[in-house]
Amino acid sequence: FLPKEIIENTVKNGKQVLFLIPEKSQGNFWIRKIQQTTDNLKLKTNNICFFSTDLPFRKYIESFKKIRDGKSKITIGTRSALFAPFSNLGLILIVEPENKNYKSEMEPRYNAKNIGEKLAEILGINLILVSSLPSIENYVESDKVVAKREEEVQEIKKEIIDMKKGSKMLNKDIFYEWSSLSQPLFEEIKKNLLLKRKVILFINRRGEGLSVVCQDCGWIKKCKNCDAPLILYKKSDKNLSMVCYHCGSISLPPKQCEKCQSWKLVTLGSGIEKIERELKEKFKNSKILRLDSKVAARSTTQKMVLKSFFEKNGDILLTTSILFRYLPILVGKKVPLVGIISIDSLLSLPDFRAEEEGVKIVHNLLSFTLDKFIFQTFWPNSQVANFIKNGYNSFLKELLKERERFFYPPFSKIIKLTFSHKDSQKAENESLNLKKKLEGEVKNKSLQIQILGPSPSFIQKIRGKYIWTTVIKLKKLKANEKKQILSIVPSYWKVDVDPLTII
């Protein structure tokens, strides 16, 4: 859905249009889409350009000059296009503004949506957010919400599988493993393959499993540098390794518990390698394609995998969230069966946005579903399950109640303060001292602010440094009041306003 009339009127009035997209890989698709949408304008090829700071230098300069000289009537680009030298900007559109790629993780850690709002305010122009499922904050804070109703489609059958009842333990030579597939999902896959029908299976984790755990004492194998659970990888039956995502260290898996010396070690969680192996064992005659950053790191390879699945002879697509990068390109592509093997590792995170992110995953996967959708989970009463059973309005109502009760966005703004040091005591003391100073400032100003922490970060140690986090929740303050609060924070602290996560 694109506001064709608004775009055309902006260009006819001699103004420029900025069209932000979350992924560079979508650039060519959106250029073609805009050309089709604005065919009445009869724009020339050089009137539409793509802009991003990671373009080849010559192409970057060429696009820069077109925008500066007003020759580019419509500019499509990633978040950096907000800083292009527009001569007469008249409209800003942001596609999927809740996408994480709009948030810069480098200083000054800006969010493209917030910059777009400020730019539109300064120039007195419209900002339009285009989303298949807006974030809670965007939905509540927008001045106007225009819903485009999709064409009526055949009702999708949805089934929620409680994995506390539907999972099995498999006795392997090295570890005891949970079976990734419940019996109902296994039977549905088998039935669809017999009918030569395609299947999409989703998992939001790489690796063999979440971690290696001792079933007797609860010991977990962790990285010595980072204090984070190591992920088990299996290259072959005899080639196992454990990898840390944070520092990249690699070690051999334990033969027994390093705490109680028990031999009863299990893998918890379901990584994509483990599921791929299980699928190949159970469906030997089927062509199973895998889409994740390990086997398809480049966008060209990812597109080849998708083309092979949708247009050729792929039977099962086992995918991570990389699939969602190509949502606009794959509009209309549907398969009879879509199953979520697990997103419980996401839902178990102590972060207020976890459930909302889970709902976004489900929503995106439903767009690929023709007949049946299966959701496997250990938490059948979660907000994600509520969304599947009762729809978006019910989910929104419950989540807003929860957000208001605990003073989370959109009822507050969040600032995340992070300090790290090789000395754990130094990290703790520094964080406690800052909290005292912040509390003094808040008391003097009589501001409505909550300070959470300080506390050790979710991953307490990364690359040999201990991490402590303080979270500030505050009502919308004037710029000078926020500046006064942040002026207390030393320059060597990491400051993140509107962070993607608080853990």
- The phi-psi region of residue 236 (left if phi > 0; otherwise alpha if psi is between -120 and 50; otherwise beta) is beta
Decide: 386 and 395 in contact? Cβ < 8 Å: yes
Return the bridge partners of 216, or none.
Answer: none
Cα-based distances in Å from 18 to 9, 88, 134, 152, 481: 14, 11, 20, 32, 32
Looking at the domain that runs over 150-207+279-407, which CATH code has it been given?
3.40.50.300
Higher pLDDT, 134 or 64: 64
Average pLDDT of 341-353?
83
β-bridge pairing 169-171 and 265-268: unpaired
Average pLDDT of 43-60?
88
Helix (H, G, I), strand (E, B) or coil at 443: helix
CATH 3.40.50.300 placement within the chain: 4-131, 150-207+279-407
Distance of alpha carbon 120 from alpha carbon 127, whole angstroms: 6
β-bridge pairing 231-236 and 413-421: unpaired
- CATH for 413-497 (3.30.70, 3.40.390, 1.10.287, 1.10.530): 3.30.70
Its pTM stands at 0.82
Average pLDDT of 286-303?
89
Cis peptide bond prior to 490, omega within 30° of 0: no
Average pLDDT of 317-339?
91
Residue 186 has pLDDT above 90, yes or no: yes
Which band of pLDDT confidence, cut at 50, 70 and 90, is reported for residue 152?
A: very low
**Burial group, residue 340, by CB count within 10 angstroms (0-12, 13-18, 19+):** buried
Superfamily name and number for 4-131: P-loop containing nucleotide triphosphate hydrolases (3.40.50.300)
Angle of helix 383-390 versus helix 392-405 axis, rounded to 10: 150
Starting at the edge strand that comes first in sequence, how are the strands of the sheet with 231-236 ordered?
231-236, 239-243, 250-251
What's the token pair of residue 281?
A: 């064992």
Return the bridge partners of 369, or none.
Answer: 335
pLDDT of 7-24, one tens digit each? 889 999 999 999 999 988
Distance of alpha carbon 273 from alpha carbon 270, whole angstroms: 8
